[in-house]
Amino acid sequence: MKKHCPHYFITFMKCIAPILLLIPFLAHGQMTKSDSLWLPLKPLIGKWTGTGEGPEGKGTYERSYQFVLNNKFIELRNRTIYPATKEKPKGYVHEDYGYISYDKSRKKFVFRQFHAEGFVNQYVLESISADGKTIVFVTESIENIPSGWRGRETYTFNGKSLSEKFDLAEPNKDFEPYTTASFNRSR
């Protein structure tokens, strides 16, 4: 003998089932205030490889940006390998790590960058272009370098590629190009 579901259960399921099916889509589609805060910097997220040039010559870059610590920070890891030269027969490897945070009291993004050479740059977000494709950070302090020096990081997005320009300024002078790099998203 076949058992039948009570009528009220069938009616309930007909009403609730479509709603239950939509919950994952509704939850995924809603953006929190925290998520929207990071929108201008989300194009950085991922793994990047590229090449660049500066005082050390031409090098190859490996870089990643990822959200860490409950999505409160963006972590940057960079490794640049410069080939052997007459002056540096073993070549040269540059590494730096960084963290971008949002300072609620100043209502600004702050980027702290730690270099293997001992420099610590603290940048503040200066501008984002109207189209969101160019982001500029300018130092407010640099540790372990004579006072008065300034640095500027400029990131420009073009689809799945990223270009970076790092400029330096001696005390009381204008910015001058120091390194440039071009990246493609690898993941």
pLDDT at position 154: 98
Q: Which residue has the higher pLDDT, 6 or 77?
A: 77
Nearest CA among 175, 187, 177, 184 for reference residue 51: 184
pLDDT at position 28: 47
- In DSSP terms, 74 is beta-bridged to 67, 100
pTM above 0.75, yes or no: yes
Give the residue extent of every domain in the chain.
34-185
Whole-number average pLDDT of the chain:
87
Query: Which tens digit of pLDDT belongs to each residue from 112-148?
Result: 999 999 999 999 999 999 999 999 999 999 999 999 9
| Dist CA 172 CA 148 (whole Å) | 7
- Other beta carbons within 10 Å of 34: 11
What would the CATH number be for the domain defined by 34-185?
Answer: 2.40.128.20
